[in-house]
């Protein structure tokens, strides 16, 4: 999927423009109390405009019409903000959905015959077959077989991935392509109920539920709106007392300027854009609440392998015992690993090659000794009688000591020092004599410790989960810079850790893919399942990561924070704006009968009419000006909560007070040319 | 002039010297820790036994509020009937009449609510019985009610998660026995020795130099004046309040009274911090409030010491500042300081005529009462401030990208809803009250009331508007001071301000206690680097901005039509 970075695609703008008018329907508007009152004000102004043609005392029809127009624009701008956010989210989702348009599915019937059906006729529980070159018709779980699959249509990653039945990588996604082999897949979701469909519904608004913080903010904004209703309604008897007639246009303008239209107009756009940003990061969320919760995460559980370290351990050093030449030792190491298909085994040969050792190839007539849980070693017996073994320290020592040989103490020293440094020692012996130690080390992903540092500054505690022994785990944890670790972890350990942290009042996020992760994913406050994971895992979590990228959690936390910050800063900006608007409108209201109040006209606006017009125009155009910010989100900087507050208070608080003074003055200069 | 300023500074410093240790002491008293006043325990236990109270019984926030409201309603009923029938009851040497029902309604609400707006004059409106056993009694218990409500809030944040907020009756009784009563005794003695009457004799008589026979009211005043300040009540024994030479005989008593009205509000902030073991938070709150006080006080001092520009235009030198409506024994500086204190705190006692202060002074007085949270009244000041705090916590929590939390408890929709209603309440009561009175004045000037609406205002125009705005604002803030110049003893004002005082008292107690109770019952979230700390300078600035902007936005048009219009017109 190509990320679409342009904010205003012409096609989207067109849809959004159309939607802005459709959304004028009061039944829709009433969901947003702030903008609803503006719409009511607009209707009143429409009436006043018509009324002023035949009656005097309410200002000129042209002036009233102009105010009506600006108010209408204010509502339209707010609708546009919401519509463009929806359109962008939908476009993003559509491009995902396109990958799963009708494809023929080879459905396996109960009697064993195959029937071709269209993908949208597939029902949950159906089983279909995919062979090399087939596009997988819909989401499902492999029940038989193994295949390489091209998932680039979803993830953008060109390297094929392996999916097989039974394990933790048994899920396939509709729209991806089988590159080799044949698999049988069981349909896991009914058409229209996939995660993607749910996500699209969330973005489209029909089923979009307000998140808890959004509800609280709406309440606060509604109460501000009520305060300003009181302010404006009571102004009428005040003005009567002061013998100052106030036109309806002026009163409504004051009201619209005071109520927090800026944040009110952008609020839903911000929420939709947050989910959209998650989608752009290739994360499908099942609810908007999950994104918001992600911003509050205190503890992050990360699997070691694949997240903190690159895949598997690698050989990093050969340590021959005293009296053994390095060349002979390396030779033995390579021979012992020739038949070893594990990544560790391969890395030993790689290391030997790096050190200039030429691979002689498997000698004729050799017999491979496979690794078993009992011997805990593997190796090779050559035709000329060399018996080379490679394995864990104690198993090789057993072999050596059983044969009556002495196990060299320098090897023991090496083993100890490797283990304390977080490595894994492998001892190699030939004909029951120990030759030396191979050091295997976890390779920590480049840049990962910086990311953990960033998380720490955000106040998120990182926890590494690993099957390693505590000593190794501790070493890697320190090196990678995580705050805590769970060593020798069993699935229930994760669960218990999450429960313990939650009991302390913390919010926990984790990522997982296996079926045995599912309970923990469900327990976690934010559970991100990998798309490649089992269906059970995906059902249990509240987000699915299409990229299967274990570091994605970090991004999700930032998206969640950004969402809240954008709301908070724009609320502050919106309220701070009111100060300047008061200084524009209040003197304009009373100047005719109380000339002394001219002193409050500190912006030196032309006439009362131009002052009021400038204020409402500013109030209207600030909405589209801020749409890009609402869609992209206010940048999050992990500089600590207090520093961040200071920064945002300065930019959006002080900025919010100052900006409208400048803006209204400039607009007044322009309006002054015409009025 | 310099001595005047030194007098103010000394008064303020002395206030702190007393208030800060008092706060630490209060934290211990309410936490049940050992204090030197524990010798009073038998007395308290006697009261509990007599009233059938089991102080071991823990209450949640709803039970606390139920207890608080029940006892307050009881006092309302009791006081109302005594006021109406005081002429038939004993201890009425001057033969003062019973109150009309509307005046009794207003007066009793006003005293139960710790407001002490007085639409009567002590000399002619009430008997000694009423002064002692209704008004002074209520001055004690209403202050203790506010303090006890604040302690309930303290309790909600002391432990990590709790619904057990202590026992209301214990807090209430202790507020009186350990705080209000001892301090009042000390202060009443100081006043008595300086000339304030404390006898039960009726009016005194003397023949003036001109040969007129003058009746001089007196009575048991000293004790009432002590608690009127300590309890931030403000209702004077005499009509002229602390401008009366009996209530406030000298500069020394003036200092004592100025100190007395602020020490408990300041002590409660300190007590809050020590009680919940977050001293820094208390000092931050104290800092914001003190800066707020200075921002209101310094311009007040400057406009009062600057003299009246209208007189200056006539070529009259005003080296002593604006002296109209001021007592010569105090001077403009001490009166300006008092006028700021009495409006910032919800005392509402006066030592000069607020109606005569400069237009801008009126603006600062009004603003102080609109904010009503810079120190504020006994206990309730902190409750008011708490609402601002919750709004600030919510907005700044969002600004740092985290669900807002206060002292480890998440602030969510329900708390915001309550805070929003309370925030809304003040502008509603103040603006709607002023609007109704403006409407009646403008459109029904001839209504046949005791005082015709058209005759309400001594000074029509902007100043008259300020008079009405002040009356309503003072009622809502439970302040009780009057701008005066308003014909307020009639059905309209008695009922209007009575209703406003009642709502303005109890809803702002219920709201914060409910929020605190809800928050306290929530899961405690330990602090992390992402948590927004509420005891930093930055957050203090945020709270200050919230207080300022919310109030400025709510009241700017009203203030523009009143004091601002008057000020700018005077300048021309």
Q: For chain B, give every domain's residue range.
A: 3-204+215-571
Q: How far apart are CA A534 and CA A523, in angstroms?
A: 17
CB B221 within 8 A of CB B198: yes
SS3 assignment, position A256: helix
Of all residues in chain B, what percent carry a pLDDT higher than 90? 82
Contacts of A640 in chain B (CB under 8 A): 529
A458 shares contact with chain B (CB less than 8 Å): yes
Radius of gyration of chain A (CA): 34
Q: How far apart are CA B133 and CA B173, in angstroms?
A: 17
CB B238 within 8 A of CB B221: yes
CB A463 within 8 A of CB A497: yes
Fold of A101-200: 2.70.150
Q: How far apart are CA B249 and CA B500, in angstroms?
A: 33
Nearest CA in chain A to B439: A237
Residue A181 token pair:
């082999």
Can you list the alpha helix ranges (DSSP code H) found in A99-190? 152-155
CB pair distance less than 8 Å for B560 and A590 = yes
Which residues of A does the annotation place in the binding site? 340, 344, 371-378, 390, 513, 517
Query: Catalytic residue at A493?
Result: no
A146 beta partners: A164
* pLDDT on residue A2: 42
Average pLDDT over residues B358-371: 95
Q: How far apart are CA B555 and CA B551, in angstroms?
A: 6
CB pair distance less than 8 Å for A234 and B432 = yes
Task: Say which residue the tokens 């927090």 belong to.
Answer: A260
Of all residues in chain B, what percent carry a pLDDT higher than 70? 100
A615 shares contact with chain B (CB less than 8 Å): no
A567 shares contact with chain B (CB less than 8 Å): yes
CB pair distance less than 8 Å for A226 and B424 = yes
Contacts of A579 in chain B (CB under 8 A): 549, 552-553
CB pair distance less than 8 Å for A298 and B528 = yes
* pLDDT on residue A202: 67
B542 shares contact with chain A (CB less than 8 Å): yes
What b-and-e string marks burial along B473-489, b requiring 16 or more CB atoms within 10 Å of the CB?
bbbbbbbbbbbbbbbbb
Q: Of all helices (H) and strands (E), which one includes residue A148? A: strand A140-150
DSSP character at residue A517: G
Q: How far apart are CA A267 and CA A304, in angstroms?
A: 39
Q: What's phi and psi for B259, nearest 5 deg?
A: -70, -45
- Active site residue: A134, A168, A296, A303, which one? A303
- The total of other beta-carbon atoms located within 10 Å of residue B46's CB is 10
Q: How far apart are the first and last CA of chain A?
A: 52
* pLDDT on residue A281: 86
- Count of CA atoms in the C-beta half-sphere (13 A) of A201: 12
Q: Which of A223, A240, A579 sits opposite B424 (nearest CB)?
A: A223
- Is it the case that residue B432 has pLDDT exceeding 90? yes
* pLDDT on residue B199: 87
Task: Say which residue the tokens 């600006």 belong to.
Answer: A70
Instruction: Tell me how many residue pairs between chain A and chain B have CB atoms under 8 A apart.
Output: 217
Q: What's phi and psi for A463, nearest 5 deg?
A: -130, 125
Q: How far apart are CA B266 and CA B258, in angstroms?
A: 13
| A-contacting residues in B 100-129 (Cβ below 8 Å) | none
Using CB atoms within 10 A of its CB, is residue A33 exposed (0-12), middle (13-18) or buried (19+)? middle
Contacts of B536 in chain A (CB under 8 A): 642
* pLDDT on residue B346: 92
Say what the pTM is. 0.87
Comparing A380 with B147, the larger pLDDT belongs to: B147
CB B109 within 8 A of CB B502: yes
A226 shares contact with chain B (CB less than 8 Å): yes
Average pLDDT over residues B437-466: 88
Task: Please name the CATH architecture into which domain A300-308+445-546 falls.
Answer: 3-Layer(aba) Sandwich (3.40)
Rounded to a whole number of angstroms, the distance from the CA of A226 to the nearest CA of chain B is 7
Task: Say which residue the tokens 């007189």 belong to.
Answer: B311
B50 shares contact with chain A (CB less than 8 Å): no
Average pLDDT over residues B152-173: 94
* pLDDT on residue B40: 94
Comparing B439 with A292, the larger pLDDT belongs to: B439
Average pLDDT over residues B48-67: 95
* pLDDT on residue B222: 94
A229 shares contact with chain B (CB less than 8 Å): no
CB pair distance less than 8 Å for B399 and A238 = no
Radius of gyration of chain B (CA): 23
CB pair distance less than 8 Å for B413 and A212 = yes
CB pair distance less than 8 Å for A582 and B553 = yes
Q: How far apart are CA A180 and CA A189, in angstroms?
A: 25
Comparing A105 with B293, the larger pLDDT belongs to: B293
The residue ranges of every structural domain in chain A are 10-92+203-280+557-672, 101-200, 300-308+445-546, 312-443
CB pair distance less than 8 Å for A645 and B524 = no
Strands A526-530 and A508-512: parallel
Summarised one tens digit per residue, pLDDT across range B66-79 is 999 999 999 999 99
- Is it the case that residue B467 has pLDDT exceeding 80? yes
Nearest CA in chain B to A236: B435
> Domain A312-443 carries which CATH code?
3.40.1110.10
Task: Say which residue the tokens 């003005």 belong to.
Answer: A239
A457 shares contact with chain B (CB less than 8 Å): yes
CB pair distance less than 8 Å for B438 and A237 = yes
Concatenated DSSP letters of A412-480 = HHHHHHHHHTT-EEEEEEETTEEEEEEEEEPPBPTTHHHHHHHHHHHTPEEEEE-SS-HHHHHHHHHHH
Residue B376 token pair:
């504020």
Q: How far apart are CA B351 and CA A508, in angstroms?
A: 60
Rounded average pLDDT per 10-residue block, chain A, 675 residues: 62 90 90 92 95 86 93 95 88 72 80 82 85 83 85 70 78 81 84 69 65 90 94 94 89 93 91 86 84 88 78 82 87 83 81 81 80 79 86 88 88 86 85 89 82 84 85 84 87 87 88 79 89 80 82 85 93 94 92 88 91 95 94 87 92 95 95 83
Q: How confident is the model at residue B437 (pLDDT cuts 50, 70, 90)?
A: very high
Average pLDDT over residues B213-219: 90
A577 shares contact with chain B (CB less than 8 Å): no
């Amino acid at each position: 999927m190509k990320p679409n970075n342009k904010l205003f695609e012409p096609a989207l703008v067109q849809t959004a423009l159309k939607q802005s008018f459709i959304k004028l329907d009061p039944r829709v508007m009433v969901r947003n109390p702030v903008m609803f009152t503006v719409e009511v004000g607009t209707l009143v102004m429409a009436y006043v405009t018509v009324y002023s043609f035949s009656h005097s005392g309410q200002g000129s029809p042209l002036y009233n019409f102009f105010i009506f127009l600006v108010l209408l624009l204010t509502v339209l701008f707010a609708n546009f903000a919401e519509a463009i956010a929806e359109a962008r989210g939908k476009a993003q989702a559509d491009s995902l959905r396109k990958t799963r348009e009708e494809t023929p599915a080879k459905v396996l019937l109960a009697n064993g015959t195959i029937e071709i059906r269209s993908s949208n006729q597939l029902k949950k529980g159906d089983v279909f077959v995919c062979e090399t070159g087939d596009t997988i018709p819909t989401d499902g779980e492999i029940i038989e077989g193994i295949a390489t699959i091209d998932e680039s249509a979803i993830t953008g990653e060109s390297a094929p991935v392996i999916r097989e039945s039974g394990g933790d990588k048994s899920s396939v996604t509709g729209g991806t392509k089988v590159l080799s082999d044949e698999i049988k897949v069981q349909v896991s979701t009914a058409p229209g109920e996939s995660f993607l469909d749910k996500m699209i519904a969330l973005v489209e608004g029909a089923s979009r539920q307000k998140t808890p913080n959004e509800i609280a903010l709406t309440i606060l904004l509604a109460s501000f709106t009520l305060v300003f209703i009181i302010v404006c309604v009571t102004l009428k008897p005040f003005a009567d007392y002061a013998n100052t007639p106030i036109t309806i246009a002026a009163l409504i303008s004051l009201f619209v300027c005071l109520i927090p239209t800026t944040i009110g107009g952008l609020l839903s756009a911000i929420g939709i854009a947050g989910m959209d940003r998650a989608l752009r990061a290739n994360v499908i969320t099942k609810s908007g609440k999950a994104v918001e919760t992600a911003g509050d995460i205190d503890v992050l559980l990360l699997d070691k392998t694949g997240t903190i370290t690159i895949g598997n351990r690698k050989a990093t050093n050969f340590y021959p015992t005293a009296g053994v030449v390095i060349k002979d030792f390396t030779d033995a190491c390579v021979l012992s690993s020739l038949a070893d298909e594990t990544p560790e085994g391969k890395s030993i040969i790689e290391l030997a090659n790096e050190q200039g050792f030429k691979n002689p190839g498997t000698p004729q007539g050799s017999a491979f000794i496979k690794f078993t849980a009992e011997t805990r070693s593997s190796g090779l017996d050559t035709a000329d009688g060399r018996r080379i073994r490679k394995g864990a320290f104690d198993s090789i020592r057993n072999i050596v000591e059983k044969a009556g040989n002495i196990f060299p103490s320098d090897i023991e020293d090496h083993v100890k020092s490797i283990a304390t440094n977080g490595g894994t020692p492998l001892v190699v012996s030939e004909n029951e004599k120990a030759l030396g130690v191979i050091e295997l080390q976890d390779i920590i992903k480049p840049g990962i410790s910086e990311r953990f540092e960033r998380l720490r500054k955000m106040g998120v505690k990182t926890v590494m989960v690993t099957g390693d022994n505590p000593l190794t785990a501790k070493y890697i944890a320190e090196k990678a810079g995580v705050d805590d670790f769970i060593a020798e972890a069993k699935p229930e350990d994760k669960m218990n850790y999450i429960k313990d942290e939650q009991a302390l009042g913390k919010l926990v996020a984790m990522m997982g893919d296996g079926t045995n992760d599912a309970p923990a994913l469900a327990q976690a406050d934010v559970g991100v399942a990998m798309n490649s994971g089992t269906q059970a895992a995906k059902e249990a979590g509240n987000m699915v990561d299409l990229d299967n990228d274990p570091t994605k959690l970090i991004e999700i936390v930032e998206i969640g924070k950004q969402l809240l910050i954008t709301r908070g800063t724009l609320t502050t900006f919106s309220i701070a704006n009111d100060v300047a608007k008061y200084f524009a409108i209040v003197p304009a209201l009373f100047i005719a009968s109380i000339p002394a109040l001219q002193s409050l006209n500190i912006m030196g606006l032309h006439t009362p009419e131009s002052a009021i017009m400038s204020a409402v125009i500013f109030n209207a155009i600030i909405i589209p000006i801020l749409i890009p910010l609402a869609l992209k989100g206010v940048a999050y900087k992990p500089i600590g909560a207090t520093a961040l507050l200071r920064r945002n208070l300065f930019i959006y608080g002080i900025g919010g007070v100052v900006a409208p003074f400048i803006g209204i003055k400039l607009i007044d200069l322009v309006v002054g040319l015409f009025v | 002039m310099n001595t005047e300023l030194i007098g103010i500074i000394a008064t303020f410093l002395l206030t702190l010297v007393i208030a800060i240790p008092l706060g630490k002491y209060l934290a211990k008293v309410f936490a049940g820790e050992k204090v030197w006043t524990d010798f009073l325990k038998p007395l308290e236990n006697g009261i509990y036994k007599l009233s059938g109270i089991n102080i071991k019984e823990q209450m949640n926030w709803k039970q606390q509020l139920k207890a608080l409201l029940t006892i307050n309603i009881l006092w309302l009923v009791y006081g109302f009937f005594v006021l109406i029938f005081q002429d038939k009851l004993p201890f009425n040497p001057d033969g003062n009449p019973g109150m009309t029902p509307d005046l009794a309604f207003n007066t009793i609400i006003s005293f139960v609510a710790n407001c002490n707006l007085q639409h009567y004059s002590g000399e002619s409106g009430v008997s000694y019985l009423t002064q002692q056993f209704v008004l002074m009694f209520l001055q004690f218990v209403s202050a203790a009610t506010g303090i006890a409500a604040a302690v309930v809030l303290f309790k909600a944040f002391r432990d990590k998660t709790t619904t057990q907020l202590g026992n209301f009756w214990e807090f209430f009784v202790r507020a009186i026995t350990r705080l209000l009563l001892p301090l009042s005794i000390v202060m009443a003695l100081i006043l008595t020795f300086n000339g304030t009457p404390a006898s039960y004799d009726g009016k005194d008589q003397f023949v003036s130099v001109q040969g007129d026979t003058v009746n001089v009211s007196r009575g048991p005043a000293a004790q009432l004046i002590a608690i009127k300040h300590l309890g931030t009540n403000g209702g004077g024994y005499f009509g002229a309040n602390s401008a009366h030479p009996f209530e406030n005989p000298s500069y020394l008593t003036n200092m004592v009274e100025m100190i007395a009205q602020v020490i408990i509000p300041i002590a409660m902030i300190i007590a809050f911090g020590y009680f919940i073991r977050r001293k820094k938070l208390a000092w931050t709150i104290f800092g914001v409030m003190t800066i707020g006080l200075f921002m209101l006080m310094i311009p007040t001092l400057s406009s009062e010491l600057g003299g009246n520009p209208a007189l200056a235009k006539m070529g009259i030198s005003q080296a002593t500042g604006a002296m109209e409506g001021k007592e010569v024994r105090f001077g403009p500086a001490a009166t300006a300081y008092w006028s700021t204190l009495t409006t910032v705190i919800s005392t509402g006692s006066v030592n000069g005529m607020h109606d005569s202060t400069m237009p801008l002074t009126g603006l600062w007085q009004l603003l102080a009462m609109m904010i009503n949270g810079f120190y504020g009244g006994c206990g309730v000041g902190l409750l008011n401030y708490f609402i601002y705090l919750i709004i600030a916590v919510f907005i700044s929590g969002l600004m740092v990208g985290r669900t807002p939390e206060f002292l480890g408890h998440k602030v969510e929709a329900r708390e915001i809803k309550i805070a929003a209603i309370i925030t809304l309440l003040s502008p509603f009561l103040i603006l709607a009250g002023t609007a109704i009175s403006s409407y009646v004045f403008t459109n029904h000037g001839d209504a046949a009331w005791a005082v015709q609406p058209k005759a309400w205002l001594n000074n029509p125009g902007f100043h008259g508007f300020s008079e009405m705005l002040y009356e309503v604002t003072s009622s809502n803030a439970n302040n009780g001071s009057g701008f005066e110049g308003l014909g307020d003893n009639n059905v309209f004002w008695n009922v209007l301000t009575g209703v406003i005082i009642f709502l303005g008292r109890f809803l702002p107690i219920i709201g914060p206690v409910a929020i605190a109770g809800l928050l306290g019952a929530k899961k405690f979230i330990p602090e992390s680097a992402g948590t927004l700390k509420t005891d930093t300078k930055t957050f203090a600035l945020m709270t200050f901005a919230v207080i300022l902007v919310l109030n400025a936005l709510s009241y700017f048009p009203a203030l523009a039509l009143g004091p601002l219009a008057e000020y700018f017109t005077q300048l021309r």
